[in-house]
Amino acid sequence: MKIFIDSGNLKEIEALVPLGIIDGITTNPSLLAKEGGDYRALLKKICQIVKGPTSAEVVATDAAAMIAQGRDLSSIDEHIVVKVPFTKEGVKACKALSAEGKHVNVTLVFSPVQALIAAKVGATYVSPFIGRLDDIAGSGMHLIEEIVDIYENYQFATEVLVASVRHPMHVVEAARLGADICTCPAAVIEAMFKHPLTDIGLEKFLKDWEKAGFKL
């Protein structure tokens, strides 16, 4: 399963990319707004660091303007993936941009039928938001299971990009279900590295080695 960073923050991105496990990145208007400054320069820098699919979202609400914004965002860097919201206009824009050969990520997906429609119009990625569903007592993981089943039935090429991830168990469950990608906030990726038994075990190994007076 691929791991993307869900962030617009350069410090977080620069700290995580050297781990060698990062395959791409997702941003959204809220994440970029939090950083401020020149969003085009920021997206360019992110693309240069990650060197992988980098989702940047349109903010128009009608298809023609979404298409224009998508083309504009794509001109920033070859790694840009145009993110469009799941609306009728977004679906039209996805179809048009995909037909031009652009990679499109259909976002704000909360139901399997929305995911089916996104695949039918050629989305490269579909982004079901699992944490936001869990927040309202829904089941984000059940949604992932349904989408993975549907896509398998028809061999859709659209990749399931699990979004709105809140903790490492979301990553584990998404991987068990065969989702293609999890996009994780930096804090979730950090948490994936932590295990108290690893820390305790390493401390003991190093102490025992030192006690023996060995040199390596």
Q: Which residues bind ligand E4P (CB under 6 A)?
A: 6, 26, 28, 107, 127, 129, 131-132, 163-164, 183
Could you give the CA distance from residue 34 to residue 27 in angstroms, rounded to a whole number? 11
Q: Name the active-site residue from 44, 51, 83, 102.
A: 83
What would the two tokens of residue 120 be?
């039918």
Q: Which has the closest alpha carbon to 174: 121, 130, 110?
A: 130
Distance CA 135, CA 205 (A): 42
Q: Which two tokens stand for residue 23?
A: 């395959």
107 DSSP β-pair partners: 85
Q: CA 151, CA 168: separation in Å to the nearest integer?
A: 24
Supply the minimum distance, in Å, between the C-beta of residue 53 and ligand E4P.
11
Quote the least distance from Cβ 35 to ligand E4P, whole Å: 13
The yes-or-no answer on residue 83 being catalytic is yes
| Closest to ligand E4P by CB, 172 or 200 | 172
Q: Which residue, 2 or 132, has its beta carbon nearer to ligand E4P?
A: 132
Identify which of residues 6 and 159 has a Cβ nearer to ligand E4P in the complex.
6
CB of 175 to ligand E4P, least distance (A): 17
By annotation, the residues acting in catalysis are 83
